[in-house]
A = this chain, B = another copy of it.
Amino acid sequence: MTIPTAERMSRIGTETAFAVSLEASQLARQGKKIYPFHLGDMNIITPPNVMAAAIEAMKKGKTGYAPTAGIPELREALAKDVGVTRGLNLTSDNVSIQPGGKPTIGKFIMVAMNPGDKVLYPNPGYPIYESQIEFHGGVGIPYGYKEGKDGFMLDMEAIRNGIRAGGKILIYNNYQNPTGASSPKGEMEELARLVVKNDLSVLSDEAYFDIRYSGEPMSIASLPDMAERTVILYTFSKKFAMTGWRLGAAIGPARFIDHISKINVNDESCANHFVQYGALAGLQGDNEGPNFIIATLRERRDVLVDLLNAIPGIKCFKPKATFYVFPNVTGAMRRKGVGDVEEFRKLCLHETGVSFCTRRHFGRPLPGETEEYVRFAYSGIDVPLIKEGLAKFAEFL
């Protein structure tokens, strides 16, 4: 006898990219040198002011429960920070602290979506959107991206079709994983107009908002009539290299945020207490830590994109944000005589040690997709290893 499992467990997804990590580490144990471009994790340590403040709070006894929605100081500081960067009028009532960025996805869906509701989500995109939609009984409607002049553009026609098909909720991930796409102003405005006209609710996943190398920051919540219908996913993970600390926030209309905090009470009580003081120090400190992180990542991006574009059959945009690139490898695959992108990935991994994810790790391919893409993350690999890995990769291809 084992414990019977509920039907909903047949509808839950996962991050299939974890399987790539496993494959890479198995090869590494066999002595193969691995160039880890598959990781969305960071090999940059958390800034010292964040660590010091967390340790001080811990030693001062901030080891008991925190308030469910977060310590008041952090909620206020975040309301101010996000208010300024997005041009919004926020108070701490608009902020519910979360144990990471990810919890906001599931909680937003539980609060906003009834079983059977149709939800638009990006594909290629972060696989947890589709998983949480289906797990909680919704119907996911994927929309894709198209190659533009200097970056990926939203497939606006697919979004329009999705709305026509009954989509009521939109998940939008500007500064996008995996494509690195940033919406130009016109594109974001067009999207916001569609949303308002059709009375959609929006989850704006802004996990990479602060991992920006150029251009002015933009949030869809800043556009006319959008704040009242948008929940922002905020995370400390990337800006402060705090992925393993698990701290983020849901930010949006106060009544909706109350509901999210009610799920906090039920699901985990609160986020770690002293960690919140670390994040507070990060927000209130000078920008030395975040600037160092951006400078480090920018150098990696520049090196990586140039080396990729020097390889025949590979075409790679240079994203203005995120720590991902999403090169088109259709030509390289053709040159190698490989028809399947997963086969291509495995071949490259085994032959060169260069480990990356493919388009398939970010959703089922959409009808009509003809080009093949892979994702290189550069958050977990230093410049010398990028150069060394790409040299082997170029030689092999």
User: Are the CB atoms of B243 and A64 closer together than 8 Å?
Assistant: yes
Cβ proximity bits A61-80 to B, threshold 8 Å, 1 near / 0 not: 11111101000000000000
User: Are the CB atoms of A244 and B14 closer together than 8 Å?
Assistant: no
Within the complex, which residue of B43, B100, B135, B267 is in contact with A103, where a contact is CB–CB below 8 Å? B267
Complex CA distance for A263 and B13, rounded to whole angstroms = 9
Given known A1-B228, A64-B42, A111-B6, contact A246–B271 (CB-CB < 8 A): yes
User: Are the CB atoms of B255 and A2 closer together than 8 Å?
Assistant: yes
Is A229 at the interface (CB under 8 A from chain B)?
A: yes
Is A220 at the interface (CB under 8 A from chain B)?
A: no
Q: Name the residue in A13, A61, A64, A241 with the highest tally of chain B Cβ atoms < 10 Å from its Cβ.
A: A64
Cβ of A187 to closest chain B Cβ, rounded Å: 23
Is A164 at the interface (CB under 8 A from chain B)?
A: no
Oligomeric state, in copies? 2
Complex CA distance for A41 and B111, rounded to whole angstroms = 28
| Least CB separation from A242: chain B residue | B63
Given known A5-B111, A63-B243, A272-B272, contact A262–B43 (CB-CB < 8 A): no
What residues of chain A have their CB less than 8 Å away from a CB belonging to chain B? 1-9, 12-15, 18, 41-43, 45-46, 51, 54-55, 58-59, 61-66, 68, 99-100, 102-103, 106, 110-114, 117, 128, 131-132, 135, 199, 201, 225, 228-229, 231, 241-246, 252-253, 255-256, 259, 262-263, 265-275
Cβ-closest 7 pairs across A and B? A244-B273, A3-B201, A46-B63, A41-B64, A64-B244, A6-B114, A3-B256
Known: A8-B114, A13-B266, A14-B265. 20 other contacts (CB 8 A): A3-B228, A5-B259, A6-B113, A12-B263, A42-B64, A43-B64, A51-B58, A54-B58, A64-B244, A99-B268, A100-B268, A103-B267, A106-B266, A128-B266, A244-B270, A245-B272, A246-B268, A246-B269, A246-B271, A246-B272
